[in-house]
Amino acid sequence: MSKLSTTNHRSDVVGLKYVYPVISRRLGGLSIGINFNTNNACNWRCIYCQVPNLTIGAAPTMDFDLLAQELRLFLADVLQGDFYERFQVDVDKRTIKDIAIAGNGEPTSLKDFAKAVDLIGTIATELGVFPGSKYVLITNGSLVHQAKVQAGLKLLKSYGGEVWFKLDSATKEGKQLINNSGQSCKASLENLMLCTSLCPTKLQTCLLGIDKKGWPDQERLAYLELLGHLKAMGCTVGQVLLYTIARPSQQPEALRLSPLSLGQMNEYAAQIRLLGYDVSVSP
């Protein structure tokens, strides 16, 4: 059985449809991913997206019986079985750090999103994984205005969960260029405010160079201005997670993209900290 690393982490590793393991260097342990978007469909097309054959669309109908079966089976394998031995996971990383709803597309596009959040929360609580491990939703945040998403966020909070809300740009042009999203800055700000009011929320921002140019000044300034504005409005963002591209994009723009250096990332992190935010940097 191959060693489980941060590079082979999709469901094919354990042969399940919805559940996949990731050994996270950053977290120092096992992150259990749940992929709602088995059809590789997202309502955005970020130019750095690593999803192969990404298509525009929503998550397909969920097979809840299968999701429950897979999660119970996988957790039993980790908690009582020989999962760590089979995948030669380093002894110091044999701990479940989180269960993350993080799919090959936008998970909140699932029709029964709240039901899925509840099911995962119920099983993980029953098996004693929560509240010790974190429950995380990784989302582009574009659908928070929908009632079914808000219902899911409330449930996520009830299990002690948190949202990682994507914010790569604070300008309309930047959102169009990086995320291929036509959503207005006003609408995404409203969604962010709503999200923070429903569930603890962190911002996740991918910084990258395009055509050998780093983060443009106008983008950086607009981003800082937005974060300042959020503070002034009393919006509580738990942390800002800065990261850059670590694996190749599967999008046509791949060859035009480059990661930012750790030095640049740290410089931007310092500027964000000056606004009173807690910031983490993942190179």
Which residues contact ligand SF4 (rule: CB under 6 A)? Answer: 42, 44-46, 49, 51, 54, 105-106, 140
Rounded Cα gap, residues 221 and 38, in angstroms: 37
As measured in angstroms, the least distance from the Cβ of 125 to ligand SF4 is 27
- Comparing CB distances to ligand SF4, the nearer of 122 and 251 is 251
In DSSP terms, 47 is beta-bridged to none
As measured in angstroms, the least distance from the Cβ of 166 to ligand SF4 is 6
Looking from the CA of 131 toward its CB, the CA atoms found within 13 Å total 7
- Comparing CB distances to ligand SF4, the nearer of 60 and 228 is 60
As measured in angstroms, the least distance from the Cβ of 230 to ligand SF4 is 21
As measured in angstroms, the least distance from the Cβ of 147 to ligand SF4 is 21
End-to-end CA distance of the chain: 29
Q: 95: which DSSP letter?
A: S
Burial class (CB in 10 A: 0-12, 13-18, 19+), 264: middle
As measured in angstroms, the least distance from the Cβ of 262 to ligand SF4 is 22
- Comparing CB distances to ligand SF4, the nearer of 15 and 52 is 52
As measured in angstroms, the least distance from the Cβ of 131 to ligand SF4 is 27
- Comparing CB distances to ligand SF4, the nearer of 46 and 170 is 46
- Comparing CB distances to ligand SF4, the nearer of 70 and 106 is 106
Label each residue of 25-61 as H, E or C: CCCCEEEEEECCCCCCEECCCCCCCCCCCCEECCCCC
Burial class (CB in 10 A: 0-12, 13-18, 19+), 149: buried
Q: Are 165 and 139 in contact (CB under 8 A)?
A: yes
- Comparing CB distances to ligand SF4, the nearer of 54 and 240 is 54
